[in-house]
Amino acid sequence: MGKVGMKLIESGLRHDGRKLDELRPISMSVGVLKNANGSALVEYGRTKVIAAVYGPREPQTRYMLLPNRAVIRCRYHMASFSTHDRKSPTLSRREIELSKVVREALEPVVLSELYPRTSIDIFIEVINADGGTRTASVTAASLALADAGIPMKDLVAGVAVGKVDGFLVLDVDELEDMYGEADMPVAMAPSLRQITLLQLNGVLTPDEFTQAFELAKKGIEAIYSVERETLKKKYLDVKVED
Amino acid sequence: MEASIHVQNRELVTPGQILGSGKLTISTPTTVYSVGGKYYSAVVGLADVEGEKIGVIPLEGFYYPKVGDLVIGVVTSVGTNSWEIDIKAPYHAVLYASDFLNRPLNPARESLSDYLDIGDVIVAKVENVGRGRVTTLTVKGKGFGKVSKGSLVEIDSAKIPRVIGKKGSMLQLLMNESKCEITVAQNGRILVNNCPNKDSEEVVIMAIKKIEKEAHIPGLTDRIKDFIIKEKVRRGMFSG
């Protein structure tokens, strides 16, 4: 039972008609921005995120360069029109924190030691927010890095699992996040079987955590295969002109 | 452990895709990495399998300077005894005045901007990629130095090997068909110079752009040959 007395799950279906373990419709494309070295647009249902990658390039200031590897900079920003009420365009505390979280979700896979004394800049813009923006951001940024040709150990895919009305659900949206009991974003590098992001808001029992994690893994596998198809599609779609 | 390869030659691979396991040699160290006796691709590219050797030819990328590379640079800043050159790499390159002038420079008497100014284009060779990653260039030798005419084409540096082709076959084709002088630099810039007429220059540029777009589809040389002939017929270039 949600806090406002509204039922979010009825006869096994969620408020938007999805099954408990069903992802929102996912669409992705790469190379959407001309000026960036790499870019990607990712949609999880109504959540829409664009990511742009620049570099490796000379760092803006000399003090931030690292002698042994490339420094990765990341900015997560929500457009002022992305939410119901206008969001101030200045970076909020939450956005600064998420920039760090997304950066740390990507740093383990980027082979940054190949390019010392450079910086790789990732800009993430949330166009429309409907829950799961941080996991969509990680997915978009990892696609944009691959599109920029930056060597990386694996692609990263993210998805959030939640507990709503006592049920574990995959890919929570804004409504479920607001009125649910728990929300757990997870990001993984599936080929390496490594977790790069794991957060938990709310309460889950140890058993529920294990189940929720298995659910997240299932979702991530599905998102990962869409990521790979998207990167290949860019080249398979090129038609030979006569 | 027995060596095994899980991909076909010229298969499209993505980062994290397993290429093989066991005792294999890596032919492209920056685009393949190994962990726990398994080999994974690090980029989007085409698998390059040759016996026990495995590699990935990247389809997307940027230029990273290597000693001895031919590069085409643009002057971005003029100092007192050196120029700063943009070579489309993560680091800018430096060209020393003594190297360019082939004699010591007297900074009190002459200004470097008299020789090369901001925006000027040079053909140079990477002389040194230093420990601190200070890249220096040299223009000593035939064909190097300031560029005064011609067209400059910029493409993705990952596609430069396709413009040159196997043993230079593609470049030879472009030059024979157009009678232009073509300088292909490793950093993704191509200089088209001394063309007999405007049309042949345009055809070469169009052909280069086509190579960039279709680099990953087999049968490139034949397609480019057909394209140039068709384009020449369309422009009526066979009459004279």
- Residue A237 has a pLDDT of 87
No. of H helices and E strands in chain A?
4, 12
Give the homologous superfamily in CATH for domain A16-236: GHMP Kinase, N-terminal domain (3.30.230.70)
Band of the pLDDT at B121, cuts 50, 70, 90? very high
Tens digits of residue pLDDT in A113-134: 999 889 999 999 999 999 999 9
State yes or no: pLDDT of B115 exceeds 60. Answer: yes
What CATH number should be reported for the domain whose range is B70-147? 2.40.50.140
Average pLDDT over residues A51-57: 94
Cβ separation of A228 and B61 shorter than 8 Å? no
The minimal CB distance from A152 to the residues B42, B59, B91 is found for B42
Give the homologous superfamily in CATH for domain B151-234: K Homology domain, type 1 (3.30.1370.10)
- Residue B207 has a pLDDT of 95
Band of the pLDDT at A201, cuts 50, 70, 90? very high
Cβ separation of B217 and A238 shorter than 8 Å? yes
Band of the pLDDT at B134, cuts 50, 70, 90? confident
> What is the DSSP secondary structure assignment for residue A86, as one 8-state letter?
P
- Residue A92 has a pLDDT of 97
State yes or no: pLDDT of A2 exceeds 50. Answer: no
State yes or no: pLDDT of A232 exceeds 80. Answer: yes
Same fold, B70-147 and B151-234: no
Q: Contact, B155 vs B63, CB < 8 A? A: no
Distance, CA of A53 to chain centre:
15
Q: Where are the domains positioned within chain A?
A: 16-236
- Residue A37 has a pLDDT of 94
Of A10, A235, A48, residue with least CA distance to A136: A48
Tens digits of residue pLDDT in A203-219: 999 999 999 999 999 99
Q: Contact, A7 vs A155, CB < 8 A? A: no
Interface predicted TM-score of the whole assembly (ipTM), two decimals: 0.89
Residues from chain B that touch A56, judged by Cβ atoms under 8 A, are: 62, 90
Q: Where are the domains positioned within chain B?
A: 4-58, 70-147, 151-234
Tens digits of residue pLDDT in B32-83: 999 988 999 999 999 999 888 999 999 988 898 989 999 999 999 999 889 9
Distance from CA of A141 to the nearest CA of B (A): 14
Cβ separation of B64 and A115 shorter than 8 Å? yes
Options 1.10.150.20, 2.40.50.100, 3.40.50.720, 3.40.50.300; which CATH number does B4-58 get? 2.40.50.100
Nearest CA in chain B to A31: B60
- Give the largest CA-CA distance in chain B: 70
